[in-house]
A and B are shown apart, each in its own frame.
Chain A
Amino acid sequence: MSNIFTSSIGKKLMMSLAGLFLLAFLLLHLAINITLILYKDTETFNRAATFMGTNPVIKVMEVILFGGFLLHMVYGAVLQVGNLMARPKGYKKANYSQTSFFSKYMLHTALIITIFLVLHLFDFWVKNKFLGSVHEITYADGETYHNLGALVLERFKIGWVVVVYVVLLLGLGFHLHHGFQSAFQTLGINHKSYTPVIKTLGVLYSVVVTTGYISIPVYIYFFK
């Protein structure tokens, strides 16, 4: 059993499970964020964001989420170091084999996502949780919420912030494009008729999620 933490296939299993969990998280996160541009004001978003920040079940999930990121990143790094060591001397002529394009750049897009994570967490999560830079707002029912929505709107009125977000999110999209179907293959799910469906779903997922996320800063910048 311990081989599941140390062997190549075991480490890949951990990575793919963590990856699938992160894929699910991205959907939920998008569903909440998109309310910022679907609704006229930020009330829905603030209520949802506060729920996510205070509900005890979600608080446990938050720890699991950080764990998932850490597991995915640490195993990714460990596997990658192994891969680099497996070919100490490279080729003169670059590889010309036909492969899925995005799969070649998983490491690069992983670094982009890591940069994004740091920026993004500092931008909203740290400011809200630790720096107290978020004002409060009281709604008609008398309840008071952190006006995180206002902070987001303010941030995405700055041109370069929007550009940085869009570029980094594209990196995320490329990662998801290969990652989605790769996770199923790693789990041993490969079937003559279902694998093409999984691949199509992966393309759909990556395109929808990436455009979804990108549309938020872009829409806010131009129309809010």
Chain B
Amino acid sequence: MSLLRYRSEIIKFKEMNFTLKIWRQENARAKGRFETYQLQDISPDCSFLEMLDILNQQLIDKFEKPVCFDHDCREGICGACGLYINGRPHGPDKGITTCQLHMRKFKDGDTIVVEPWRAKPFPVIKDLVVDRSAFDKIIQAGGFISVNTGGVPDANTIPVPRKNADIAMDAAACIGCGACVAACKNASAMLFVAAKVSQFAMLPQGQVEAKERVLKMVQKMDELGFGNCTNTGACEAECPKEISLSHIARMNREYFSATFNA
């Protein structure tokens, strides 16, 4: 690489300034409001959460309350982080979580609006943190198997067609972050529930409780107040694991067969 090219690369990575409009809410019952913050000299290689860390450090230095947001692994596997950034769950990039988003995806001087997931079953606890235990309740309703699969060698003795294993694995990639609900104009949780139904429906171990599982999980989903799917596809577009709408069709099939072959 010539020196000139190298220099231009460095110049390209100039630090950036942002205006942040962030939802602040004291607690679950408080009314909440947007606060505006100016943030200077942010590296384009900074992750979105690191950028928020910098903001929080500055707030703490000024004896102000830092912005609460959820996070854990910071490498896209736990599903804890989830922010609605400029009208998109997990921000302006495809197939990533908020912790995998980098500031180079924005332009210098951008105004960034950061909101919590909005859905009745996901109440805001504080600032950008929402209570997603509704997802846990859906899993508890049927997202498990109670057959004993034994140790690893035993599991391998049950033949599973390669194609089915792949589909199950794709569905199992769901990290339960809630972006599908956040993106959906109806706040529907169908993609999440479909992924959890699909991952078992494709495997022999999942067959034992298949009927009960889909009926109970859908019933719980409805009960918790999630909306109804209109096949719009915003969930699929925003899912950090790019879970396909075909899983929703599979869940519907499972649901119909559980209902009509009772």
Contacts and interface: CB of A to CB of B under 8 A. Distances in A.
Q: Are A and B genuine complex partners? A: yes
Q: Would you list the 4 A-B pairs with minimal beta carbon distance, nearest first?
A: A190-B249, A96-B87, A86-B227, A188-B253
A178 B229 CA distance: 13
Interface stretch (B3-11, B100-108, B113-121): B113-121
A186 B225 contact: no
11 contacts: A12-B228, A86-B227, A88-B120, A92-B113, A93-B113, A99-B233, A104-B185, A185-B249, A187-B252, A188-B250, A195-B246
Interface in A97-129: 97-100, 103-104, 106
Interface in B155-190: 183, 185-188, 190
Interface stretch (B41-49, B63-71, B215-223): B215-223
Contacts, number: 136
Interface residues of A, number: 44
Interface residues of B, number: 50
B226 interface: yes
Interface string A1-42: 101100111111100000000000000000000000000000
A95 B183 contact: yes
A87 B227 CA distance: 8
A85 interface: yes
Contact of B245 (A12, A83, A185): A185
Given A182-B230, A188-B250, A93 B255 contact: no
Given A3-B259, A99-B234, A92 B249 contact: no
A100 B222 CA distance: 25
B243 interface: no
A95 B259 contact: no
A142 B251 CA distance: 59
Contacts of A192: 246
Label chain B's interface by main secondary structure.
Answer: mixed
Interface string A51-91: 00000000000000000000000000001001101111111
Contacts of B238: 97
Contacts of B21: 92
Contacts of B188: 8, 83, 86
Nearest to B85: A93
A3 B219 CA distance: 9
A169 B133 CA distance: 45
A187 B251 CA distance: 10
Given A7-B222, A83-B187, A190 B227 contact: no
Contact of A185 (B219, B231, B262): B231
A221 B196 CA distance: 56
A106 B230 contact: yes
Given A1-B259, A8-B218, A82-B227, 10 more contacts: A1-B260, A4-B259, A7-B255, A8-B190, A86-B186, A91-B118, A106-B230, A185-B245, A185-B249, A188-B252
